[in-house]
Amino acid sequence: MDGVYSFKFFDKAIKMCHSQGLKVILGTPTYAPPAWLTTKYSEVLRADFYGNVMQHGSRRHYNYTSKKYIILCKKIVTVLAEHYKDNTSVIGWQIDNELNCHMEVRFAECDHIAFRKWCKESYGTLKDLNKSWGTVFWAQTYTDWNQVFLPRPTVTYHNPGHLLDFYKFTSDATIEFAKAQYEILKKVNPNKFITHNGLFDNINNYKLTEQAIDFMSFDSYPAFAVMLRKEMPEHFRDRIFSMRLSKVRGLSSKFMILEQ
């Protein structure tokens, strides 16, 4: 429930780890909000391209641009950081979990509003936005900011300039979500490292590493590729995670494999 936090489960687990000489990396619990939260604040839920709300019952059902969810995330990250700041068994933090895994795009009302704000900050004027997107083609010219939305279902092709900015915005919104947590954790726990378990779609991982974590890490599941990547030759399927290893080496001077 709102404003009530219990650390008993984590305290017990960390104490057990300490008894075995193990150190702990704590993950912020923002990737799977509980049912009471999504019921009370339905505006935190994400929506698909057609505007269908993604309901509770799985994970990653929250929205990076929901103002209410950002407030709630900041609160829980703050109390976690304060509670464990002096615990020597906790050596670092993992922000969220696999940002943009499963569904890397979002189309809730708050996303449209946030995209409009991003466009205003990026272009300043509708004249410059129209010029950049080439909206004179097919009578796409915008005359009011309230006409600007994320890509929505259309009869035929989307405007390529619009699409490009949509992907840039998606990345920036994801990074801002992580950055809000990073700033809290680093302020309270300046001597503990902060990382994230990537690497997923629609994120500028160089920018994420520079602004929202101390170094990038990743999850290695070659068995998933063997089972799922049927379009690739069988002997080659597990190599896709070698590509992730190469990518993460290029992002920061150190890394971890946080899941395997």
Omega cis (within 30) before 129: no
Terminal C-alpha separation, the chain: 33
Sequence-distant contacts of 127-136: CB under 8 A, at least 24 apart: 132/161, 133/159, 133/161, 133/162, 133/165, 134/159, 134/161, 135/159, 135/161
- Tracing tokens 């290893």 back to the chain, one arrives at 245
Task: Work out the angle at residue 12's Cα, subtended by the Cα atoms of residues 8 and 14, and round it to the nearest 5 degrees.
Answer: 120
- DSSP H helices in 20-54: 35-40
Task: Work out the angle at residue 204's Cα, subtended by the Cα atoms of residues 171 and 236, and round it to the nearest 5 degrees.
Answer: 115
Q: Give the number of other Cβ atoms within 10 Å of residue 9's Cβ.
A: 8
**Of 109, 183, 210, 259, which one is the catalytic site residue?**
259
**Of 98, 109, 121, 210, which one is the catalytic site residue?**
98
Catalytic, 259? Answer yes
> Is-contact 197 93, C-beta < 8 A?
no
Catalytic, 98? Answer yes
Task: Work out the angle at residue 204's Cα, subtended by the Cα atoms of residues 200 and 207, and round it to the nearest 5 degrees.
Answer: 125
**Residue 75, CB half-sphere, CA atoms under 13 Å: how many?**
11
* Active site (catalytic) residues: 98, 259
